[in-house]
Amino acid sequence: MKHGKKYVEGAKQIDRAKLYDTNEALDLCIKTGTAKFDETVELHVKLGVDGRHADQQVRGALVLPNGTGKNVRVLAICKGDNIDAATAAGADYAGAEEMVQKIQSEGWMDFDVLITTPDMMGLVGRLGKVLGPRGLMPNPKAGTVTPDIAKAVQEAKAGKIEYRLDKTNIIHCSIGKVSFGAEKLQENFDAVMDAIVKAKPSAAKGQYVRSCVVSSTMGPGVKINPAKFV
């Protein structure tokens, strides 16, 4: 693969054979995140589990201490007083059947998070084939199916993220922007890793955190020593 000039220059600052301390790795992410836009800092964690087994799934959600740096567009599918509550909490869009119809008939997807109440899941479930592949299907474990719609909207707006294993047993998530600086990124990193470690399945055997890498959107990956998470 051929990389751009900035990527190549950034890669020269990183020792590929070294496992860095977290603060060093995040400093390097900031130094190599030199694109013309504010790059996202991404975390990639490979776990020693087999996600094909239900008792080894790792999934959860948390509000990052310093948010994600992204303006999150929230759709709340609910009815009655919950529509007013969701709107007051900051939802960009709120409604019931008309919102489901808009997605079904128009292919409308101008939102980043979909939150709903348990009584609406029968309706929202019809959108599974559309929302599922995009990772937008509401889920109680992620806190996006809840009777407290206002709280869920506020958390989403404040920088709540969901983490889950992919098919290769790796968790990918963003922990902020390069412009956050090392201190805020460190706080977000610590919060995510603490959640992942606490979510360790009882069925998991051997080393749990196999590898940990951080990178900016356009920059090279920086390996972090996973020993501290054992």
Interval 37-65: pLDDT, tens? 999 999 999 999 999 999 999 999 999 99
Q: Tell me, letter by letter, the H, E, C secondary structure of the chain.
A: CCCCHHHHHHHCCCCCCCCECHHHHHHHHHHHCCCCCCCEEEEEEEECCCCCCHHHCCEEEEECCCCCCCCCCEEEECCCHHHHHHHHHCCCEEECHHHHHHHHHHCCCCCCEEEECHHHHHHHHHHHHHHHHHCCCCCHHHCCECCCHHHHHHHHHHCEEEEEECCCCEEEEEEEEHHHCHHHHHHHHHHHHHHHHHCCCCCCCCCCEEEEEEEECCCCCEEECHHHHC
- Both tokens of residue 81? 């007083």
CB atoms within 10 A of CB 99: 24
* pLDDT exceeds 70 at position 204: yes
> What is the pLDDT at residue 200?
94
Interval 111-125: pLDDT, tens? 999 999 999 999 999
Q: What pTM does this model have?
A: 0.84
The Cα 34–Cα 55 span in angstroms is 41
Mean pLDDT value of segment 72-92: 96
